[in-house]
Structure 1
Amino acid sequence: MKQKTRVEILKRLKNHIKDPTTELIYHTPFELLIAVLLSAQATDVSVNKATKPLFAIANTPQAILNLGINKLKDFIRTIGLYNSKAENIIKTCQILITEHNSEVPEDFDKLIALPGVGRKTANVVLNTAFGWPTIAVDTHIFRLCNRTGFAPGKTVEAVEDKLLKVVPKEYKINCHHWFILHGRYTCIARKPRCGSCVIEDLCEFKDKVYPE
């Protein structure tokens, strides 16, 4: 794909998606970190349903530790992999207290050192909570970048590296959100809605799907 085509795609997504932000509900970097940890293999809707009552009584590392792992599991039981996620959250809270003064570190390496935190989670926190020009790559973005030809790659890291190279500086802050929302609601996995896609004519996907 030519660079001028990529820029046009970004321009159109910017005009089309007026509120480019996460659909996870949070008020602090810590709440966002926990929400993103819970969102692996789960929908944002299911995470929000679990975190609303949880954060109402425990939205700091110490408060969650005081809650304990069993009560924490009760709050997140409806979310997939809740047992391992609860263990990671408890361990993460302990590290945040002992090593980071109960604050979420604004540092990629320190974030990925936390239990359960990978590249995607770290990049989402840095981008959304702290305004870093990072581009987190989840399943939606990985699919979108390969399907459209915008930034093809065989691995998540390869796609991330490509995006960081080809996305102009002025679009980096919001690129993750534009792509994830477009992938979640238009360029969906099984049957992309090409007929209502604002970048359909720029996309390199050969098997476009249109309503009959």
Structure 2
Amino acid sequence: MNRDKRQQIFERLREDNPNPQTELEYSSPFELLIAVLLSAQATDVGVNKATRKLYPVANTPQAILDLGLDKLKFYIKTIGLFNTKAENVMKTCAMLIEKHDGEVPNNREDLEKLPGVGRKTANVVLNTAFRQPAMAVDTHIFRVSNRTGIAPGKNVLEVEQRLLRLVPKEFLLDAHHWLILHGRYVCKARKPQCGSCRIEDLCEFKQKTE
């Protein structure tokens, strides 16, 4: 795919959604970090249902530690892998207090040292909470990047690095959200909705659907 096509794709995505947001609900970097931690192999809808009850009760590292492991599990028990996630959340809260004065660090190295935080989670926090150019490649972004030809790659890291290099700079901060939303609602895994897709004429997917 050439540079002009990429430029046009992101111009259209921006035109349709000038201010794209994550679908996870949060009001601070800490709330976002915990929501992303909980979202692994779970839906944003499911995470939001749990955090709507949890955050009014505990939405700081100290408040969650004070809540205790069993009560935390009670609030997030509807989310997959909640036992492991609860333990990681507690350890993360303890580390934030011990090493970062209760604040979420705004750099990859420190974020990735937090229990349960991998590269993808760190990228979401860096991009969404701190507005740094980072690309959290989930299944949606991986699929859209390869299927359209925007930034094909054999693995998640390859796609991430190619997106950071190939997405025009003016779109870099919001590209992560546009691509996720496009993959979630239009360029779906089993049946992409090519007929109603805004970028169908620019996309290089060969098996287009009606």
TM-score, normalization by structure 1: 0.97
The residue aligned with 2:135 is 135
The residue aligned with 1:4 is 4
Question: In structure 2, what is the Cα distance between the partners aligned to 1:112 and 1:3?
Answer: 33
Question: In structure 2, what is the Cα distance between the partners aligned to 1:168 and 1:111?
Answer: 27
Question: In structure 2, what is the Cα distance between the partners aligned to 1:105 and 1:127?
Answer: 13
1:147 aligns with 2:147: yes
Question: In structure 2, what is the Cα distance between the partners aligned to 1:187 and 1:75?
Answer: 33
Give how far 1:200 is off.
Answer: 0.5
Question: In structure 2, what is the Cα distance between the partners aligned to 1:108 and 1:161?
Answer: 15
Letter aligned with residue 157 of structure 1? L
Question: In structure 2, what is the Cα distance between the partners aligned to 1:18 and 1:194?
Answer: 22
Residues 159-184 of structure 1, C-alpha deviations (whole Å, 9 max, x = no match): 00000100122111100000001110
Question: In structure 2, what is the Cα distance between the partners aligned to 1:71 and 1:207?
Answer: 49
Letter aligned with residue 175 of structure 1? A
Contact 2:6 2:168 in 1 (8 A): no
Question: In structure 2, what is the Cα distance between the partners aligned to 1:113 and 1:4?
Answer: 39
Letter aligned with residue 77 of structure 2? R
Question: In structure 2, what is the Cα distance between the partners aligned to 1:122 and 1:47?
Answer: 18
Give how far 1:19 is off.
Answer: 3.3
Number of aligned residues? 210
Question: In structure 1, what is the Cα distance between the partners aligned to 2:13 and 2:118?
Answer: 27
Give how far 1:136 is off.
Answer: 1.2
The residue aligned with 1:99 is 99
Question: In structure 1, what is the Cα distance between the partners aligned to 2:8 and 2:66?
Answer: 50
Give how far 1:150 is off.
Answer: 0.6
Gaps of 5+ in 2: none
Contact 2:146 2:152 in 1 (8 A): yes
The residue aligned with 1:15 is 15
Give how far 1:119 is off.
Answer: 1.1
Alignment of 1:1-212 (within 5 A): 1-210=1-210
Letter aligned with residue 18 of structure 1? P
Question: In structure 2, what is the Cα distance between the partners aligned to 1:17 and 1:146?
Answer: 22
Letter aligned with residue 120 of structure 1? K
Any idea what SS the aligned residue of 1:26 has?
A: coil
Give how far 1:135 is off.
Answer: 1.5
Residues 23-56 of structure 1, C-alpha deviations (whole Å, 9 max, x = no match): 1110000000000011111111110000011000
TM-score, normalization by structure 2: 0.98
Question: In structure 1, what is the Cα distance between the partners aligned to 2:108 and 2:37?
Answer: 15
Letter aligned with residue 204 of structure 1? E
Residues 51-87 of structure 1, C-alpha deviations (whole Å, 9 max, x = no match): 0110001000011011111111111111111111111
Any idea what SS the aligned residue of 1:57 has?
A: coil
Identity among equivalent positions (%) equals 65
Moved over 2 A (4+): none
Question: In structure 2, what is the Cα distance between the partners aligned to 1:104 and 1:137?
Answer: 21
